[in-house]
Amino acid sequence: MFFFLRIMPFLFLVFPLVIITASIGEIPRQAIYLMSVAMLIPAIILLNIAYITEVEISTVSIRVVSNTFKGTKEEDILLYDIDKIICRKRYGKKAGLFYYLVLKTAQKRKRFISFHGRNIKESKRQFINERLQKITGISVLNK
């Protein structure tokens, strides 16, 4: 994730410079400007995406640490603010096991644990669900 969300945008910004220096006089100036803007937009979008680096689960709260472009962002979610925990297994290209928090105040789900890959067995899923329910006391729903 770090490479894709933090290093790749800078490669997008350097790419037009490399093209400019490699083909001076061969590519029209308007095409270079268009390519620069076309690379700038995905770079800005990728730099603005935050990704979770650390999750601490205790009997009182769940602490989620996210890495943003501006630095790290810590969020403490008290357990009595959580309505339920949803476990969702996806198949296909973006396969994996994803855990979401549904808060009582907002119906928007917040992802806090992700296991990417296709080889996640049902026994591992049940084990993680049991541990989460044991630590937090909140029911984990499978979807």
Domains of the chain: 2-47 (no CATH), 51-142 (2.30.29)
The string of DSSP codes covering 6-61 is IIHHHHHHHHHHHHHHHTTTTS-HHHHHHHHHHHHHHHHHHHT--EEEEEEE-SSE
Q: Is the pLDDT of residue 108 over 80?
A: no
| Average pLDDT rounded to a whole number, residues 21-26 | 75
* pLDDT band at 19; cut points 50, 70, 90: confident
123-129: average pLDDT:
91
Does the pLDDT at position 52 exceed 80?
A: yes
Give 12: exposed, middle or buried? Use CB within 10 Å, 0-12, 13-18, 19+: buried
**pTM for this predicted structure:** 0.72
What pLDDT does residue 120 have? 81
Q: Does the pLDDT at position 27 exceed 80?
A: no
